[in-house]
Structure 1
Amino acid sequence: MTKPQLPDRPARPMGAPTALADLLVVDFTRVVAGPACTQILADFGAKVIKIENPDGGDDTRAYEHAEIGGESAAYLSLNRNKRGIALDLAVSEAREIARDLISRADVVVENFSASVMEKFGLDYASVAPINPRLVYCSISAYGRKGPFASRPGFDPITQAESGFMSLNGFPDGPPVRTGPPIVDMATGMSACNAILLALIARDRLGRGQQVEVALYDIAMSMTGFYGMAYLISGANPGRFGNSPNGSPTVGVYEAADGPLYMACANDRLYRRLVTEVLERPDLITDPEFATRKARSANKEKLRSVIAGIFAADRLENWMAKLKKANIPVGYLRTVEQGFNAAEARERHRLSRIPHPTAGFIPNIETPLNLELTPASDPVAAPLLGQHTDEVLRTILGYNDARISALADAGAFGKLQRAAKAGVS
C-alpha cells in the first residue's frame, strides 16, 4: 500500500473574485447528499455555516473508511470550506440563534427527517416571513409531501427501488449497487443547481422560494436512456456488465500482462480497430461481423476472437496502437493506480491542506473550473463547533455576556465551556 506524496496546494490568483462572495448559507445537513451540495457552494466563496448537534455532530464523523487528526475520510471529503458551529436545537436559546442566522441568510439547506424542522419552528413556512428573499432547499429520500414523505431512505435503498440498481452488474449475476454513493452525490449536485436557479430567479422576481430534491427522483432520472427505452418499447432493460447493449467491442479485455477498457462503440471506430490495430480486415468483410446488427447477433464469437488477439501481446503495445488509431481506451486502474497516475498529477487533482489537529490532510480538488471566479483556497472541514464563537460574534454581533448566557442555558451542549472561553 503506497500513499501518494501530496504537494501543498498553490494559492488561487491574488485578488481574483469568487463566484458566490457574500452569499450566506445556513447548513443543517449531514451525511452525504446535503453536505455535498453545500460544499460546492462553499468552494466558490459562499459563507457556509454548518450547524451540528453538539452530541457527536454529523454522522459521517464516525464513519470508518479511514481517519486523520480525529476526523473521518467521509466527513473531511464533504465539508471543506465551511464554518462549523454546534447548537442543541432542543434548547430554545439554540433555536433563537438558528432563527437569527436564517434571518440574515440567502440560503438554508436541510435534510432532516420529515417534520423535524417544523417541530423546531425552522421550516420554510415558519421562517419565510422573517426573510422573504430566502432560498430554502429541502433534501429528502421521497420528498416532503405525499404518502412516502415520512419514510427514511438512503442512497442504496433508492438505487434498489427506482430500478437503477437493476441496470448494474453482469447478466448472470444479481443487481449491484455502485461503490461510491452515486445517487447521494448526484442529489447534492442537483440540489446545488436548484439553489442557483432559485437565486437567479430571486434577482428577477425579488423574492426567494422553497426548492426540493429527492433521492428517489434523482435515481429514476439516472436510469437515463435505458428508462426512456423502456417507456418507448415496454421491454425491461437488463444488466450488461461492462458492455452496454452487449456490444462485443466495448468492455474489459486482457492483454498478456494486464487489463484495458475499450469503448469502440460505432462502425467508424470498429473499422479502424480491426484494420489499423488488430490487423484483421476479415472481421469487417465477414458477413457475420460486417454490420452492427450482425456483430450484435454474433457478439460472443466476435468477442472471443478479439480477446484471443489481445491476449497475445503486452498491454503497453496495445495501448500504443489503440491510442495511435484514436480508439477510446484506458487502463483499468485501482484507486491507488488512478490517484498516482499522470492524469491526476498533470491536472493537479490532489494536494494537501492544513488541518488544526492533523497538521495536514489530503485534498481532492473540486472538479469545477471557473476562469474569472476560481474556487476558494480550500480550508479543511471544521472540527465540531470550531467556529461557534466566531460566527456568533462576526455574523450575529453577539457580545461576551450574551454568549456566556447562551452557554449557561445549554445552547451549545457540551461545548459550552469552550464557547465561554472564546474558542474559535
Structure 2
Amino acid sequence: MGALDGIRVLDLSRVLGGPYCTQMLADHGAEIIKVEPPQGDETRGWGPPFNAGLSAYFSGANRNKRSIAIDIGKPEGQAIILRLLETADVLVHNFKAGTLEKWGLGYDAVLKDRFPRLILAHVTGFGADGPLGGFPGYDAVVQAMTGLMSINGTPGAGPTRLGTPVVDISTGLIACNAVLAAIIERFRSGLGQAIEVPLYDCALSVMHPQTANALMSGKVPVATGNGHPNIVPYDMYETRTGKLYLAVGNNGQFAKLCELLALPDVPADPRFADNAARLAHRAEITAILSARLAELDAQVLEPRLLKAGVPAGVVRNVNEALAHPHTAHRGMVVTAGSYQGTGIPARFSRTPGVVRLAPPRFAQHSRALLQEAGYSDDQIDTLTRSGIVLEEQPD
C-alpha cells in the first residue's frame, strides 16, 4: 500500500502541469482516473519517439493511471463525470476559466454542495482574474513573460528558453503539494475546497534568487551564463578532458578546493578572502581556476573533490546521466512492460512509491471504469454508439 492508498483522483487535465501533478500522486498509491476528450490528450501525438503507440512525452507524465474517454461537452458526458465524482476525493483540471461552469460542473454552483469533501485543483495559465485572467498559458510563453528567459543563457546571447518545461513541471509540483495540504486540512474540517494554481504565479515563485535580489536591490537581474549571480566560484570550467562544474558555497570549501588544486596561496589573497570579495573579483579568480583546471582530468577530479566535501560534478549529457552507476543504484530508471521512465525520487521507509501501471492506451479502461461506476453493458454500449464514451481513438 502506498502512502496515498485510498485516495481517488479524477484527472481531467492534459499536456503536462496537471498530468505531472497526478502522476506524482499516482506513484504514491492514489488511484488516478484520466479522463480524456474524444480526440485524446494531445501529447499522445507529440513525437517521435514512440513505443507501443505511446509518445515519450505522454508516457513521461501518465504512468500509474487508467484512461477513459468522455465527451464532456454533452449532457450525457457531464452526467458520467458527476457519477465518477461520487467516489472521488480530488478533481484536477486545466480547462480555461469558466469551462466547467459552462458545462454545469462549476465548483461554487454545483460541486461544492453536491460533493462537500471534494478537493478541486485548477491548473491555469494566469488565474481567473487580473489583467491577464482567463487567458491560456503555455510554458515557454510564461517563461518569457515572467523573466525566466531573461536570466537564462549567456550575457551576449539574449533571452533563452530553459531547455526543460520548468514552468509546467514546477506548477505540477506546487499543485501536488497543494492537493496534499488540502487533504490534510480535510481531516480537521471534513470539507474540501477549490485550489487555483496558475503557471504565471508558480513561475515567479520559483525564480530564486533573482526575484529576491531584485526586490532587495532594485537592480534588474541579468543572464550570467553558467555562473551564479550571488556566489563565486559557482561556475562551469574546462578541464583537459571535459567540463566540470564547481559549486563552492563557503570559505571552507574554497580553501579545500585550492588545496586540492595545489593553489595554497589563493585563499590568503584579500581579493578572495570571502564570498563578497570573490564576487567583486569574479574575473580574477575565474582566470586562476580556469588556468589550473585546464591541466587536469575532470573524471579524476570529481570523486576527489566530492570526498573532500567540495561540490563538483562532471558535465554529462542526459544519456550519460541515465547510464551512470549511481542512477542504477538509486533505481532512477524503472520499467513496466515496454515502458521505461525515471524512478520515484522520494523514498518512504514503510510505504514506498511503486510504478504499477504503464501509461494507458487511449480509452483503455473506459468500459471497466463505467462498470465499476454501476453502468450496465447495455448502457455502456449505448454511450459508445452515441460517441459520448470512446473505447478506441478515432482515425
Question: How high is the TM-score relative to the length of structure 2?
Answer: 0.94
| Cα offset, 1:54, TM superposition | 2.0
Note if 1:382 corresponds to 2:365: no
Note if 1:25 corresponds to 2:9: yes
Aligned to 1:113: 96
Secondary structure at the aligned position of 1:368 is classed as: coil
| Cα offset, 1:187, TM superposition | 0.5
- Conservation of the 8 A alpha-carbon contact between 2:232 and 2:275: no
Cα distance between partner residues in 2 of 1:378 and 1:131: 29
Aligned to 2:138: 154
Greater shift, 35-44 or 365-374, is seen at: 365-374
Match among 379, 382, 386 for residue 402 of structure 1: 379
- Conservation of the 8 A alpha-carbon contact between 1:260 and 1:332: yes
Aligned to 1:353: 336
Secondary structure at the aligned position of 1:40 is classed as: helix
Secondary structure at the aligned position of 2:5 is classed as: coil
Secondary structure at the aligned position of 1:245 is classed as: coil
Cα 1:104–1:320 change in 2 (3 A) is closer
Cα distance between partner residues in 1 of 2:379 and 2:81: 15
Cα distance between partner residues in 2 of 1:319 and 1:83: 43
- Conservation of the 8 A alpha-carbon contact between 1:85 and 1:387: yes
- Conservation of the 8 A alpha-carbon contact between 2:362 and 2:393: no
Cα 1:202–1:248 change in 2 (3 A) is closer
Runs of at least 5 residues in structure 1 that lack an aligned partner in the other structure: 1-16, 355-359, 418-424
Match among 267, 274, 281 for residue 284 of structure 1: 267
| Cα offset, 1:90, TM superposition | 2.5
Secondary structure at the aligned position of 2:229 is classed as: helix
Cα distance between partner residues in 2 of 1:81 and 1:253: 41
What aligned pairs does 1:363-382 form with structure 2 within 5 A after superposition?
363-382=341-360
Cα distance between partner residues in 2 of 1:349 and 1:414: 33
Aligned to 1:6: none
- Conservation of the 8 A alpha-carbon contact between 1:49 and 1:83: yes
Match among 22, 39, 45 for residue 23 of structure 2: 39
Note if 1:69 corresponds to 2:52: yes
Match among 168, 175, 187 for residue 171 of structure 2: 187
Aligned to 1:229: 213
Letter in 2 for 1:381: P
Cα distance between partner residues in 2 of 1:412 and 1:170: 50
Runs of at least 5 residues in structure 2 that lack an aligned partner in the other structure: none
RMSD: 1.8
Secondary structure at the aligned position of 2:272 is classed as: coil
Q: How many residues matched?
A: 393
Secondary structure at the aligned position of 2:86 is classed as: helix
- Conservation of the 8 A alpha-carbon contact between 2:18 and 2:92: yes
Note if 1:220 corresponds to 2:204: yes
Letter in 1 for 2:58: Y
Cα 1:413–1:231 change in 2 (3 A) is same
| Cα offset, 1:331, TM superposition | 1.0
Q: Which deviations, in whole Å up to 9, do the C-alpha atoms of 1:378-415 show, x marking residues without a partner?
A: 31111110000000111x11111211222233212574
| Cα offset, 1:219, TM superposition | 0.5
Secondary structure at the aligned position of 2:270 is classed as: coil
Letter in 2 for 1:155: D
- Conservation of the 8 A alpha-carbon contact between 2:123 and 2:175: yes
Cα 1:407–1:284 change in 2 (3 A) is closer
Cα 1:397–1:174 change in 2 (3 A) is same
What aligned pairs does 1:268-279 form with structure 2 within 5 A after superposition?
268-274=252-258, 276-279=259-262
Aligned to 1:7: none
Letter in 2 for 1:328: P
- Conservation of the 8 A alpha-carbon contact between 2:154 and 2:223: yes
Aligned to 2:248: 264
- Conservation of the 8 A alpha-carbon contact between 1:284 and 1:290: yes
Secondary structure at the aligned position of 1:104 is classed as: coil
Cα 1:145–1:402 change in 2 (3 A) is same
Cα distance between partner residues in 2 of 1:293 and 1:42: 45
Q: Which deviations, in whole Å up to 9, do the C-alpha atoms of 1:213-242 show, x marking residues without a partner?
A: 000000111122321221122111212111
% same residue: 36
- Conservation of the 8 A alpha-carbon contact between 2:14 and 2:42: yes
- Conservation of the 8 A alpha-carbon contact between 1:26 and 1:50: yes
Cα 1:152–1:96 change in 2 (3 A) is same
Cα distance between partner residues in 1 of 2:355 and 2:228: 40
Question: How high is the TM-score relative to the length of structure 1?
Answer: 0.88
Letter in 1 for 2:5: A
- Conservation of the 8 A alpha-carbon contact between 2:363 and 2:392: yes
